Structure 1
């Protein structure tokens, strides 16, 4: 990654047969003067066409027109809003072990928490709880992947923070669904 305001964790991948190396083309309206970050955790699977809309896409909402007249110059730049007058929703954060399906769109300031899954072609406009499956436009909760107690345990265990040797030794347990076995990994 060449942009310092895009942070991607280890082992996260972007699946695009055309050009998986040019992931930044999927991060839209991400202007340095705004200062927002896209933070993606470890072990995430990002399907082809996943798009992140950042805070630079926001228009001033409190006037009669939202049109950005200033982009045309010729005296119209007098209508340029100050950055603090534009809506700002914060950093966009994708947790660890998250799967974002084909052509998912993540809107500014959204947090998709650890272990979540977002269905293909969804538009995520609000935060996604951990280990929850979201889908649709706007994306809504379809179901939790596990019961609350298992989710709490998974978040406490946080296997994605283990050293890679421990992960390698325990791959079969990590991909299984036996929380007691996962608790006892060494």
Structure 2
């Protein structure tokens, strides 16, 4: 038996095979509406008027499956965005994800015998992106992060911490650039 099969077990290996076949089918969905319907049929919760562009990738499907993915209404998921479904990903309404952004929900150095495992044991946590948020292109969001409502994450940023609502956030590692003022009602 291979080392990889020993590490993940036979049940996860079969789930990996099954979800790989699903992803092959997914690649043939040429229209956003087809992709949305397919993902819903596979268990994802996707709101109305949400567009999922071509080339969006899903990894670690054998862990949560598409049931771990929730995307709200009026969202735009750009080309080649990557979702790590080792844990749940929840995206609110009116959220845009820029091309090639990544949402990572876990850390795993490798095999249990890897020498760094004692310093960096496997860990996974869900990621939440609240309503009205814009995630710029090439942004990486790490596991356990919550991004507050009406925030903008600048291009090429690394998000390692929670982002408060109404915040302009950017950099590597990311930091608060400034708070966005709420519009006052007269």
- Normalised by the length of structure 1, the TM-score is 0.58
1:105 to 140, 144, 157: 140
Tell me the CA shift for residue 114 of structure 1. 0.4
Q: RMSD of aligned C-alpha atoms?
A: 2.5
Report how many residues are paired. Answer: 120
Name the residue aligned to 2:75.
Answer: 12
Deviation at 1:86, TM superposition (A): 2.6
**RCO comparison, higher one (Cα < 8 Å, 6+):** 1
CA distance in 2, matches of 1:37, 1:111: 12
* Structure 2 counterparts to residues 140-155 of structure 1, below 5 A: 140-146=175-181, 150=182
For 1:128, which of 163, 174, 177 is the aligned residue? 163
CA distance in 1, matches of 2:116, 2:75: 37
Distance 2:94 2:141 in 1: 18
Instruction: Sort the Cα spacing of 1:53 and 1:145 in 2 relative to 1 into closer, same or farther, 3 A.
Output: same
Q: Give CA deviations for 1:31-82 in whole Å, capped at 9, x if unaligned.
A: 3xxxx20000000111111111121x3338xx98126xxxxxxxxxxxxx9x
Change (3 A) 1:64 1:58: closer
**Runs (5+) with no aligned partner, structure 1:** 68-80, 151-176, 182-186
Q: Which runs of 4+ in 1 moved over 2 A?
A: 57-60, 85-88
**Unaligned 5+ runs, structure 2:** 1-38, 43-65
DSSP-derived class of the 2:99 partner: coil
Please point out which of 98, 103, 122 is paired with 1:86: 122
Cα separation, 2, equivalents of 1:64 and 1:53: 21
More strand by share: 2
